[in-house]
């Protein structure tokens, strides 16, 4: 069973050591960098939610959800919306359904509106990242026609 868990002193190194495959590294920042970005976002008025993704008791991935991002070039959908800013499943655990199961848990969490009201959740991905596009489409995200920094924007109505 997939769960989203807080990153703690006990599990932080396990989460920081998770990595995507070599050919996917151009698509996502390291988990350590992402957790550091949470601090920057929080001190600049944002609401980051970093989570470890677990399959039963095994850490298999990481997600960073945000609300009210500032300081970035953003799509028009971004105001008062949630964003799945980072998502990764470790290369050893890919192609086992964990990404799709994690997306369902992520959307479930976002729909609780933990930081405030929103109509949308958005995610971006490299235009040539067909694996990501298929995953997000299967979870209800639809491309809205915007491209920001060579990344396609996809939106889910909450």
pLDDT of residue 111: 97
Number of structural domains the chain divides into: 1
Mean pLDDT, residues 116-134: 93
User: Which residue, 70, 89, 98, is CA-closest to 1?
Assistant: 98
Q: What would the pLDDT profile of 94-108 be if each residue is shown by its tens digit?
A: 999 999 999 999 999
User: Which residue, 95, 39, 29, 40, is CA-closest to 62?
Assistant: 29
* Residue 79 lies in domain: 2-157
Mean pLDDT, residues 64-92: 87
Whether residue 70 has pLDDT greater than 70? no
User: pTM value?
Assistant: 0.91
Task: Report the alpha-carbon angle 40-110-147, nearest 5.
Answer: 65
CATH number for 49: 3.40.630.30
Residue 132 backbone phi and psi in degrees, to 5: -65, -45
Mean pLDDT, residues 23-33: 77
pLDDT band at 71 (very low <50, low <70, confident <90, very high): low
Residue predicted with more confidence, 75 or 4: 4
As a whole number, the mean pLDDT across the chain is: 91
Whether residue 89 has pLDDT greater than 80? yes
């Amino acid at each position: 069973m997939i769960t989203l868990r807080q990153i703690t002193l006990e599990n932080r190194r396990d989460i920081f050591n998770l990595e995507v495959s070599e050919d996917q590294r151009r698509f996502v920042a390291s988990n350590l960098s992402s957790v550091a970005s949470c601090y920057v976002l929080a001190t600049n008025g944002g609401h980051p939610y970093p989570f470890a993704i677990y399959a039963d008791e095994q850490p298999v991935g990481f997600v960073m959800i945000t609300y009210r991002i500032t300081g970035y070039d953003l799509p028009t959908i971004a105001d008062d919306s949630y964003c799945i800013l980072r998502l990764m499943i470790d290369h050893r655990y890919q192609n086992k359904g964990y990404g799709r199961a994690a997306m369902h848990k992520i959307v479930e969490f976002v729909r609780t509106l933990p930081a405030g009201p929103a109509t949308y959740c958005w995610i971006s991905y490299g235009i040539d990242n067909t694996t990501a596009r298929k995953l997000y489409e299967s979870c209800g995200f639809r491309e809205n026609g915007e491209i920001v920094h060579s990344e396609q924007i996809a939106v889910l109505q909450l």
